[in-house]
Structure formats: structure tokens, C-alpha cells
Structure 1
């Protein structure tokens, strides 16, 4: 190093060195001033804006439209409990208070459901709006409001909207939230008044993300281009009825009464609730459907999520234990729905209380609500408690349509499309017009992608299609596109006082089809499957159907009396965690071909049963501890076999030793959990990834990233890391959920099964057997974690890989960097994993980061409702820098629950702030 540029030489720097030093110091000073100035400006801007938008929580506010005073009492976490003397005042106050905390979130939601995101965020959202306009959620919601909902429900929706608009009155965007102030830099958007239809439409968005097996329908169809029926059956194994219990166990379908009853000895032949259904439907062997479905992937992936991950990976846990098995002598009910990680949380905790329950004021209910929608969705009132999990019922079907001119073919005739023109307003740009076309099976989704339209016009398919003409398209039949009564069900459940009233309320819960679990203060427990679940002519919904053949149309819906239920079963508990609802041999209708495979549900069942068998009684804290169970069921199957692999490489052997003595618990600080999950991911890649059709491949995925050392000579480690670019850039990947658990379980003892064959690479020989593939996966996992976590395995932990970032769902994902910094939070290092009771889900196709979570947790104590517990993913507030923005997240991550006050005495004791709304 030249002496004039170093102080260690003992010489003074020369003239050149002094100039360089001055320039460096000047640059540093300017940089510091720029940073300080920027931070100061940002701090001033954000603090002044945030303060302007914080809600008033003390004192009093006058609201036009109230008939009497309303008390809003908030606890130390900002969770409100509202007390009123009439239903109208109660729901008007709910609208006002939710708007105080969450209006920006509500506004984004209604723009999403109506396909108007471009009005807020500009041309980058046009394609999403086009697709959402094609689905027409807001149009269906308006029909529901106009023609289906009861008069009382309409009154509640109107009162709620009145409360929201009372909050908005006289406020500019910057007075409402930080995000509006940020939007003001790029466009002149101002929030509009709230309408009752805005509330109803949110149920459509929720239903979309919980829609069932549409993705499996697409995947299975695309697989037919490369895989045979047996191979596809391998990848979609039958539900393991003999090992994983169904939800309903003590009831059967009665063929005489044509209803579901308990205690019946009748049996019914099943039409099939599992399998691939590869006969009778359209397959993807031709280029038309193949291209249409693969193109549909791109369209679906870009649609913004409401509560889930675009229909993938969604699950939930709920269970109820009768008083005979609890320390209180009354039921305990637990629920934790698994949804997308969002900020703020999709849930808003709240209590709605009539000062005196009467015909004038009918509600005394508390629980989890959706900001933007009146009522309580999950929770309890003074008599009953309820929870929900996604049933997975198949309520969507894709149809391949034969298009001719301005119409489509159906039973040999050409029928005209039902068409409408939609105008999409775009912030900062000219409006755009689109035409939405519908067949008798539903809207043409393929119209929303220019490439799909081109492909459809020149498509040829290898099916018994009518004469080829202009081409093909894909339409969607979905129960949520028909007007329903789900909003009526919310209010009916909120005031139900017993099992009979609760079941009656459930009959209006059209979509989404949810597993409803129940308990009451009189020591009754129950389960009901509600929803509009279609019956089909031909086909079972597992593959797209030919839209031109009326034999494949929906013929009706499963009668309400025939939907499975269970009441006070002898075993004393009911578990729902997305497993099969009923045994396939005891029910005549197809609910779905794609159940969750029961990994979580059976683990919960085993935990409850082991407690009972040991003579113990279950407590509220026992229920909480069950929610936090981190046990990996796939690890129990695989680890004993992985430990038998003779590993020569000392570095890989060092990692393999982590699995010795491991209890299969995926704690955040577990190195063994990190290494096992990396091995599991590599097993999936090697065994299945390279055999899937190219249309299913995840573009740009790479198992080895962030190499530890990129300097100096290239050693074996670096070479292994860098090879990713050539080997895995276009590699298919299974997601690693419990379907894949079952796939591997079916072939685990067949050591020479074809699935264990993996091709050679520059560094690895081809594998022909299970153990050869396992050895390679152990090695690949070692180098993957070396790249991600370092060579020293003592520093490895599952939490370093398995992290949760909470991102504001709009400007926190696509906004300027400084806004992301202001709006987003995290990371949190989490325990749990995929298909684990503590379901902090990750997708093996994309890495180990947390993508769906227990969005809330609750345990209701029916013996003493004030001893119930709850927690939310984030906090009550949607305002960044509010004390209640993420004040529950640390506790949530640790598995803690908050006290849940219900009685007026308990609420008064926990109250920190009181706001009086006056007429």
C-alpha cells in the first residue's frame, strides 16, 4: 500500500492524500447531514400526520343519528367494548369505532372487492381490477342486499354505514391515516362515503380465499400432459380414514329420511370423496386447455389476497371439549384460523353489548369481527360460543368452453354470451373499458389475459369437443357468484341462545362453507357443516369439465337436512382442522375430492385423548398449550430412516447428528428442526420436482442463496452453492404440506419406487433408491444451510430460517422504501411449521419464511366467560406508530393469551379509556 495513503507507515500523508482525506470527510459530512435532514423531515411529517389521524378515545363526541348515548370502553390494548340501548345505536357505534381504528384498511378492502384498486394506486392495479370486475363480487353483493337479506340485517348494515360516515364527515385523507397522506404525493384520491353493499362484498373476498380445490383442479389437469393416471393418483392419495379420524364420527346419512342423523345404523354407498376422477372430464392433453390453464396461473397469482394465500395452504384449528373432561365442569372451546400474515390483522377484537337485552336491543356478544362489517364473526355471547375452520368443500368448478363467434356452444347449439361493459378509473391515467362475457357456467376468466385469448382462438384439444371454430375459453362456476344470505347468518349466530337456534342460523351461512363448532353454558357441544355445496351431473369436480355438455352442469345443492352434524358425542369432544368431515362409506354426496389429510386434526385428537386416558381434566391453559404444539409428524416418519443413512462426508455427518435424540419439536431455537426441514425440502425437490410438468414449475427458485464466502479460491462448498444457478433456476417444487406427507408415507417402504429416482448433476450421481436420494438430500440440506446460516452448526436455529414479517398490505409492499420502513414490522423468529398444530406455514416451493399463521387464538371458558382468553396477530389499531399497532404480536409469537373480559364488571375493571358518543 502506498505510504501516502496510510497512517500506519509513520509518515504524514502527502498533498494528494490530504486532498483525498478532505474529500472523504466532506462527503461523509454531506451524507450525515442528508440522512439527519431526511430523518428529521420524515419524523416531522409522520408525527404530525399520525397525531392528526389518531382516534379520540376519551371524553365525548356528538354523532347525528344516535337515539341515545353509547359508551365505548377500551382496555389497555385498545380493544373496544361498546354499550348501547338499541340495536341501531350499537351497530352505528361499531361502524364509527372501527373507522376510527381501521378506515384505511376498510377502504382498500372495498376497492378490492369492487375492482377499483386502480382508483387508489394507479395503473399497476389495472389487471387485478379487470379480473375482479370479471368475478363481479360487488354486483353479487348488491343483489344480495336488494333481494336476499332480511329487513333487520339491512337496518344493521345501514346503521353501521351511518357510523362510518359520521367518522368521515369533515375529514380529509390526511386526517384519517398516514397512508392517505402518502397517497396525496402521487394522486388526489379522497375517500368516499361507506355503503351497506361495501360491507356485504367483503364476505365475497373472504369466500374467494377459502374457495376450496380450484388450484388442485388446475394442477391435476396440467399434470396429465406428463404423468399417467397412476402417477397422479400417487400425488393425490386417498384420505387415510383408518388413521386420521373424521370430524363427524357418531352419525350417518339415513337413506329413508334422506337426512343426516345421529345414532342411525343406515349406510349409504359413496359416490366417492377421494381420488383423482381422471375419467369423464376434460384432460389437458391438448395444447388448448394446457395453455389456458397455465396462463390462468399468472392471472390468479396476481390477484390480491383478502384473508388467505389465494386459496393455497389455508387451514385452521378448532376443537371443543365437554364439561365431563374439563376442570370447570363446563365446555372449553378453542379456535385459531390460519390465514395470511397481514398488517393490520384481518381480525378486529370487539364487544357489542346491549345495556339490557330485550326486543329493542338483542345483542350481548364479543369476539373477532372484520373491520368494515357489522356483527361478530367468531366469539361468544352470554349463552353460547362458536368457532370456524375452512371445510374445504368443493364449491368451484372450471369449465372449458367452446367459443363460436359471439357465443358459446352448449348441447349442439350456439348460445349468446351475457355481456356487460365495465369502466375502470385509473389514478393519473385515462380510464379503461373492458367487456365481461359470461356463459351459463359463469364468467370467462380467460378473457382477462391477452395471451389466453390468442391461444384460445387457435387451440386444439384432444377431447370429444364439438367442431373446432374460434377456439376455447375457461369459465368459472362458483357458489359465491349467486346471491345468498350469509350476512343474515352472522347476526342470527350472534344472538343464538342454544343449539337449535345456532343450527337454524347456520342454514343461512351460504358461503364460504365453514366447519362450525359449538358449545354452550349448559354443557352441550356440537358441530355443523353449513353452506351451499353443489351436486353435479357427471364428474366430481376434481378436473375441469366440458362446458358444452349439459351432463356436467350442477344439478342443485346438497339439502340442508343432509349436511353432516354432531351433537354431544359420547367421546366428549369434537375436533375440526380441515380433515374429512365424514367417512366416505357413510355419505351419498361428494363434498370434495381434496380434503386436508388430517395431520393436525389427528395430533389434536391424540393430545386430548391422552389427557383423558391419563385420568386428567383439561384446563384453559391445556387448550392453549395444545394450540402451541410444534411436533412434526413427517419428522417422526422420516428421521429414523435418515439416521440409518451411512454418511461419509464429515460435514454432512455433523449435521446428521443433530437429528439424533431430537424429539421432533420445531422450536424456534432448534438446530435439528432447521436441518430436518431443509432435508425435507430437498427430498421433495429431488423426488418430485423434476418430474412435474414445466407448467407447474416455480420460475427463478433457487435452493442455495447468499453464499457465505465469495472471495478467494473456489472450494467445494462455494462450487456447490453456485451450481444452483444452472441446476435449480427452473425447478418445480412441491409445497410440502400434509398431502405430501401422505404421498411420501405411501411409498416410504418401497425403496426402489420410481419416485426415488433423481437425475445426475455435475456434482452428484443419479439416484435409484430411497436411501440414495435421502443421502443426497442430507448433503444438499447441509450446503443449503451453510449458505443461509453459516458453516458452524452451533449457530443454526429454525427461527433464523422461519421468520415472520408483517407488511402493510398496500404501501408496505409496493410503496416507497421509507414508507415500507414506517409501515412494516418484524421479523419475528417463530416456532411451529407446516401441517403442525402451531401452524406457522411455509411453502417449500419458495423457502422457509412464514406465509400463513394462526391469525388469532382464543380459548372460551363456558364455565366462567370472564376467564376466557384471546390474542390477535397484530393489534386493534391500523395506525402506524399507534401504541396498539402491533402491541399483541410479541405475546402472540410467544404463545401467550390476553384476558378476555365479558361481564360489565370485568370490562369496567379492565377499562383504560372511555369515550361517550352522544346524540
Structure 2
């Protein structure tokens, strides 16, 4: 990887400094290309080629379709604030400006959501396209646009698309981005016009990565091949309601009114909706699930890590506990580390609020989608975390000829044909089959359908025979209204309007936290959440009987909420939404286990109980909390173990006096996390089915002391060979709870590990812990050197930002040019500063706080924000990664909102004229 080329984290550069920095980068790219590929190649990639796609940010541009002039004001970080006199002009300008900065990213995203990546990148993406076509995100998005969305939302989507297309008009690929210029060497791909459906479809990709517990359904089913019911229960312990509090403390479900109400917290309900579990699967079903595991792992991520490890923090504190006397709201969604960041910062301002122009809002949105997703307007602020509610179910289907069995009958498949175009190759045709439970995911791999009896060739799908298949039921595969919710929230002025807006937010289901300038705070769980007949969604269900079908959805009035709770704060960090004995429906069996949420609540309580008032900077410091809860539990026990080996004893002594904080320069954090990883491997790894090993997890391993892409690729290959023999727990907060449950049972069977060539078998906890400490010592010796004085957590725990598509699979020289890093990070898994790593693949950073914000409802101009990378998607633009250094250090940028504050921070102004 190249060295970090981001701007210094000191004072912000002036205009002349930015120009010099930009020229230096342009010179560097030409020089590097000339050295790598020769003078002729370097001459082709001239400075003009690199700069051709940079956005115009000063002067004026005429845009057909505007009804009046629009001002685009950018600050020193290139963050745009748009001022217009009508809603349509505002969103048209938003489309134009986002396309200026990020069109390549937008184009890749829409090809992913529509299953057309092969059109851009060739045959290597055909299997992914097959799976994405089977899900049919773009088809559902079109149905939403045609039949579900309001007239005003359609108008805004059309205006946004018009702005994007105004940017594209008359441009060749090289005029849009460096990536298109590179693609031009291998295919003749040309960007097509943007459509409103392209924007709507992105919400489906977002929902896919935030889909809930589908991976857990598969895992539990695969575990039955080697583990008994009690062992599986050990690995999925109950949520610790008594220790880690649910989001909603006050209120109850009222059986009489059929709604959730605040007030008396006594419950009149009986929790649960039916029998636990699902299908008793034939032996062949195991192979299908194993194959599906691999397919899911290969699907490109949108905002997360394919449904694994997704989390976020958001909390709000009322004015009675703050310095300003008004609420403070913090949010930091934990998503995949991507370049550019998944988020795009901007403000959308009407020059005068009226029926003609209704928006004055600022925050984070997605490139390719109008409106603001998370942020604040002049009256309210809101944040989001993934609720984790279970909105997906896998169904095992019995297939017979050209149909499937259901309640004793054979029903015909609903089939459609799809043609996948491939850049530089022949098109491929597929048949997508659906049951009444959804599309057959198992049709996407020949190995998945070799179950049961082979039948006569099916004329609709000639490679399919009788047997079993796997179908997916998912709320996002039905048309919805989430795009309406975005615009409704953006202009909501109080709690009532915000709650009404949330009723449109059907997928993905997110925890919504709220605050307003009048001093109120609140929480609402939105979403289309299914009610099941039998089963609880924890395992795949039998699809051949109606007993396990979805019987409806929880009504909006029944969904949990809180408004101005007496405690004066609300914390959401993927923990349980409500105590199970206070609610009649099973929202999920797989909550996050509340490690982060309880730590945040404890930090708030500590400040309050100490008589202090919370400031904006206190909220920022809480976001950076590096404390390891699992270290607090295990380190005292690790220190009591008698260690004979002097080298291991030397490492053990690092833990003495350690305060359990995982700072980047901490040797103790490095050694503890290595020990934790080896505890998991010894106690559980060799007992789990090998099918649970996810291939892609090895791709997350980054080299520790290498500098070039060739070394990084070698590291990835070695990982795949090294870990192929066994599964490995990911080390998240579920595993914290697993170990917490058994840690005082020193003779528990899980502490048994087999003899190896160099080590004796272990039978007790301390024997296994001692062996893990020894293995960790020599693992870190190999990675970091024998001298423990040189060890640090940041040398292991590093962030590489990889440019999407070409930064991961492109030519080595192009990856070297487009990627950035590494950054040595603090934080860790299930820590408030959630720079997540996956013990199945090493210590490299997998997901991150993708942005951080703190909104000050007492003075919105004193709010703060930061993005993972920068406003620009153009490599070597000054704003490609100019926020990353500050982000890595936990710093926040000023967030101007009022007209005067924006003007004071404006660096460049572009006027868009009709």
C-alpha cells in the first residue's frame, strides 16, 4: 500500500496551500505511472487526464431545467451547502453536485443493485450478478416508484436524476473519473443516464447489509452436524437483560388498545409468538446451507460486511444533564471501511421556507440518493442505529418437477428469465424461480440443487431436478415507502411529525433517536416487522406447510417508543429494544448483547452522578472510549496463571496494571487481543463445523509490516491456506457472553482442547488460558518481533482504505494509486470506539465508525461532524481523504448550519444558472 497521502491534521490549509498540494499530487501520479509503465504510458496519463474529472467549484454553470439560480458553497473540506428557491431546484442541484464528486461510485452502486456489474467489470462478476438478479432489488425498486411512493417524492427523485444527467451531458468516461479512463483499456463501457429507480434501489442494498439474523439461521443449522442442542444453546446465550439494559425502559404493551404506551411499566403480556426453531432438515440440506454460505460471502457489500458485525452507536441526552440546557445527540454508524466513504456530507437550504421550498436540512446522505438520511434541520435532529430485528427467514422447500409442495399440493413456480451482459464476453441467460416464500437462492449454484432424487429435466430450468431448495422471505422484497420517510423526516418540525415520518420507514428497520430545539428527546422503532405463525425465525423453517408462514406485520402503533424518559437520556447501540416480558412479539432472537450500549449508559451515569453536566466534547470523548469489557473479565484470571516460560511471563507482565483501554500505542492491548483470539480458537474453533469458516474473512487480514500491494496480496493467500482446517469464532460481543457464562466453571467441556505436536491437551480453563497466552506470545513474536518494547496494538490493528472495485481487484499499479493507508487505530471489537476486527481473519480493521457527529440543539452552529474519507471520490483530489487523519485521531470538524456560519466557512462558490 502507498504511504498515507492525506492532509495534515494540523491547521486547515489555505487556498494557496490546497492548490500547491493538488499540484504535488498530480505531479506524483504522473511520475509514478511513468516509472511503473514507461514513458509512453506516463505521457498518456497526463496531468490533464487526471484533472479532467475534478469538479468545477467556482464561477458559474448553466443547467437546463433549473427555474432559478442555485448557489453551491463549499468549505475548506469541499463539503457543499446548496441554496435554492424551490424544492425541485434544490434536489436537481443535489444530483448535479453529487455526480460532480462521486458519479463513479454512484454508477458502481446502481450496477450492483441491478445485478449488472458484469457490464462494467466482465465475467468475474457474473455469479454475483446471478445472485443479485435473483433477489431482484431493481425490480422491487421500480414497483415502489410506480405504485407506492408519493407524488412529491417522485417529483424530487426526477429532479435529482435530471441534475445527475445534466452533469453527464457531453462527457466521456475520462471526463467523469480516473476509473473510467482505466476501464477504457479493457472494455467499451459508457455510463448511461441516471433514473429515479437507480436512487430508490440503493435503499435495498442498504437493507441487505442490515438484514438481521440470516447468517445466524445458517450457522445454527450447520452446527447441528457436530453439536448437540445444549452446546448450540451455549453458543447463543440469552440476552442479559438484568446487566445490559434494553433501549426502552419505560412503557408497556397494552392488550386492550393493541398499542405500545408510556406510563405504567407493569406488563400485561406474555412474550413469544410460537414454537422455537424451524425445519428438521434432511442431510442434504446441510450441503445446501454450506454452499449458500459461500455465495453470500462473495456478494459485494453495500454499506456493511454482508450482514456480519454490523453495529452503530447513537444516544441523546436531555437538557437537564447538559451544559447548554438543551439536548445533545451523538451518532456513529459502524459500517464497512470504504473509499470513498459510504456517506456524503451536505446541506440543503431553501433561501426562504414556503410551500414552494420546504427544506432547511444538513447531514449525511448517500451519493446517488436525494435528501439527507441522518442529521438535523432547524428544529430537530435524529440519528440511526441498526435495530437488528429479524426481517428475513430462510425456508426449506420440497421441489417436485416444475413446482414445489405446499399444504399437500404442488404449486407452480413463478419464473422469469434474465439476461446478463458481460463486458468483453458472451451474455448469459438464467432462470429465476420463486415460491410463495420468495426466490430460490439455491438455484444460483449447481452444487446446491444436487439434493434428493434427480428428476426429468425441467424445461423452464434445465439444470434443476427434484429435491430440496432454499427460498428467502424478506420484507425488502415487497415494495415499500422508505424513500418517502427520508423527505418526511428532513422537514419534520416536532416529535409528532417525526413519528409520522417514521411510519413510512419500512426497510431497513433502524433505531431512530430524536431531539429538538424545544428540549425534547425520544426514540422510535420503525419498520415492517413480520409476525410468524410457528417458529421464531432462529432456524430455517419448513416451506411446505402454511404453519410457518408470516401471518402479518406488527402495527405501527404497537412498535416500542420512548419520549422524554425520566432518566434524561436514551442509548441505542444494537442492544435489545425492549425487555421480552414487556412485549408480546418476538422481534428477534439475535440481538447484539449490549456491551457497547451499557458502557455508554455507564459513562453518562458516571458524569450525571458525579454532579457534572455533559458537553459536546464529552459526547465526542464517549465516542472514543476504548475500554475492553472482555479484558476486564479475563485479565485478572490470566494474571493468576503460573507461567514457566520466561518469554511468555514477560508478555504476561504487560497486563499488570493495564487499564483495559485499547489505545493504538498499547502493547498490553496487542497481547491481550492476541490471547483472546487464541482462547477462542482453542476453546471453540476445533469444535465447530468447518463450514462455518467464511472464505472472505481471510481477505480482511492485512500485512503487518509491508508497504506494497504485492505483499498484501501474498498475505491474503497465506491466510486462506492457514485457516482452512477449522472454523474460528469472530470474537464479537456474543462470544463475550459465551465466555462470561462459563468462565467460572473451570472444568467446563469447552475448555478441553486436543494435544498437538508441541502442546499437551488441556482439560481446564487455566490450562487452556496458559496455552493461549503462549500461542499469543509466539504469534506476536512472528508478527511484531521478539522485543515486546516494540509491540503496539496499532501495528496489528490497521485500517487500509481500498477504492471500490479497482482498489480491490484491479491491476496492482492501479490499486497502489487509488488506495490509501495504513492508519494505526485505537479501539476494537464490541468497544464504543468500534474499530471492529474479526478473530477469524486476524487483527486488521474490518468495520469502523463510518462517520461521527454530535448535534448541539442549543446552538446548531456548534455541532460537530467528521467523515471517514472526504467529500470527493476522485483520487488525488484534495478532498479524497482529507478528513481521515482527523477521523483516526477522534477529532471533529465544525458543522456550519446557519446562513452566516456557512458564509464564514465558505471557500468556493459555484452558481448554477438556468
Range class of TM-score, shorter chain? over 0.9
Per-residue deviation, residues 809-851 of structure 1 (Å, max 9, x unmatched)? 1111000011101110000000000000000000000000000
**TM-score, normalization: structure 1?**
0.92
Alpha carbons of structure 1 residues 39 and 512: separation in structure 2 relative to 1, 3 Å: farther
Structure 2 Cα separation of the partners of residues 5 and 681 of structure 1 = 32
Per-residue deviation, residues 674-728 of structure 1 (Å, max 9, x unmatched)? 0000000000000000111122135699999999999999xx9999999999985
Q: How far apart are 1:288 and its partner, in Å?
A: 1.5
* Contact in 1 for aligned 2:91/2:370 (Cα 8 Å): yes
Alpha carbons of structure 1 residues 441 and 709: separation in structure 2 relative to 1, 3 Å: closer
Structure 1 Cα separation of the partners of residues 707 and 35 of structure 2 = 31
Alpha carbons of structure 1 residues 154 and 822: separation in structure 2 relative to 1, 3 Å: same
How many residues are treated as equivalent by the alignment? 911
Alpha carbons of structure 1 residues 461 and 192: separation in structure 2 relative to 1, 3 Å: closer
Structure 2 Cα separation of the partners of residues 30 and 865 of structure 1 = 43
Structure 1 Cα separation of the partners of residues 860 and 824 of structure 2 = 32
Per-residue deviation, residues 381-420 of structure 1 (Å, max 9, x unmatched)? 0000000000000000000000000000000000000000
Structure 2 Cα separation of the partners of residues 80 and 4 of structure 1 = 25
Q: Which residue pairs with 2:668 in the alignment?
A: 672
* Contact in 2 for aligned 1:685/1:734 (Cα 8 Å): yes
Structure 2 Cα separation of the partners of residues 13 and 439 of structure 1 = 59
Structure 2 Cα separation of the partners of residues 899 and 695 of structure 1 = 48
Alpha carbons of structure 1 residues 406 and 25: separation in structure 2 relative to 1, 3 Å: closer
* Contact in 2 for aligned 1:221/1:283 (Cα 8 Å): no
Alpha carbons of structure 1 residues 641 and 355: separation in structure 2 relative to 1, 3 Å: same
3-state SS of paired residue (1:320): strand
3-state SS of paired residue (1:3): coil
Q: How far apart are 1:224 and its partner, in Å?
A: 1.0
Q: How far apart are 1:865 and its partner, in Å?
A: 0.2
3-state SS of paired residue (2:450): helix
* Contact in 2 for aligned 1:643/1:659 (Cα 8 Å): yes
* Contact in 2 for aligned 1:74/1:911 (Cα 8 Å): yes
Per-residue deviation, residues 570-620 of structure 1 (Å, max 9, x unmatched)? 000000000000001000001000000000000000000000000000000
Structure 1 Cα separation of the partners of residues 4 and 580 of structure 2 = 84
Q: How far apart are 1:538 and its partner, in Å?
A: 0.4
Structure 1 Cα separation of the partners of residues 898 and 24 of structure 2 = 66
Q: How far apart are 1:25 and its partner, in Å?
A: 32
Per-residue deviation, residues 734-760 of structure 1 (Å, max 9, x unmatched)? 000000000000000000000000000
* Contact in 2 for aligned 1:148/1:485 (Cα 8 Å): yes
Structure 2 Cα separation of the partners of residues 217 and 242 of structure 1 = 26
Q: Which residue pairs with 1:798 in the alignment?
A: 793
Alpha carbons of structure 1 residues 247 and 179: separation in structure 2 relative to 1, 3 Å: same
Between stretches 44-53 and 498-507, larger displacement belongs to 44-53
Q: How far apart are 1:778 and its partner, in Å?
A: 0.3
Q: Which runs of 4+ in 1 moved over 4 A?
A: 1-34, 267-271, 273-280, 456-469, 698-713, 716-729
Structure 1 position 775 matched with structure 2 position 773: no
Higher relative contact order (CA 8 A, sep 6+): 2
Structure 1 Cα separation of the partners of residues 5 and 378 of structure 2 = 79
3-state SS of paired residue (1:43): helix
Alpha carbons of structure 1 residues 859 and 288: separation in structure 2 relative to 1, 3 Å: same
Structure 2 Cα separation of the partners of residues 338 and 817 of structure 1 = 29
* Contact in 2 for aligned 1:705/1:784 (Cα 8 Å): no
Per-residue deviation, residues 219-238 of structure 1 (Å, max 9, x unmatched)? 00111111111111100000
Alpha carbons of structure 1 residues 902 and 704: separation in structure 2 relative to 1, 3 Å: closer
Return 5+ residue gaps in structure 2 as ranges.
none
Q: How far apart are 1:161 and its partner, in Å?
A: 0.2
Alpha carbons of structure 1 residues 466 and 550: separation in structure 2 relative to 1, 3 Å: farther
Per-residue deviation, residues 523-574 of structure 1 (Å, max 9, x unmatched)? 0000000000000000000000000010000000001000000000000000
3-state SS of paired residue (1:78): coil
Between stretches 673-682 and 251-260, larger displacement belongs to 251-260
Per-residue deviation, residues 12-64 of structure 1 (Å, max 9, x unmatched)? 99999999999999999999998376378447616322211111000000000
Alpha carbons of structure 1 residues 278 and 227: separation in structure 2 relative to 1, 3 Å: farther
3-state SS of paired residue (1:313): coil
Structure 1 Cα separation of the partners of residues 562 and 81 of structure 2 = 33
* Contact in 2 for aligned 1:334/1:857 (Cα 8 Å): yes
Structure 2 Cα separation of the partners of residues 116 and 460 of structure 1 = 32
Alpha carbons of structure 1 residues 93 and 795: separation in structure 2 relative to 1, 3 Å: same
* Contact in 1 for aligned 2:103/2:176 (Cα 8 Å): yes
Alpha carbons of structure 1 residues 761 and 21: separation in structure 2 relative to 1, 3 Å: farther
Structure 1 Cα separation of the partners of residues 17 and 874 of structure 2 = 51
3-state SS of paired residue (1:702): helix
Structure 2 Cα separation of the partners of residues 118 and 671 of structure 1 = 45
Structure 2 Cα separation of the partners of residues 757 and 326 of structure 1 = 51
* Contact in 1 for aligned 2:6/2:881 (Cα 8 Å): no
What CA RMSD, in Å, does the superposition of the two structures yield over aligned residues? 8.7
Alpha carbons of structure 1 residues 859 and 43: separation in structure 2 relative to 1, 3 Å: farther
Per-residue deviation, residues 410-433 of structure 1 (Å, max 9, x unmatched)? 000000000000010000111111
Q: Which residue pairs with 1:734 in the alignment?
A: 729
Structure 2 Cα separation of the partners of residues 501 and 560 of structure 1 = 14
* Contact in 2 for aligned 1:801/1:849 (Cα 8 Å): yes
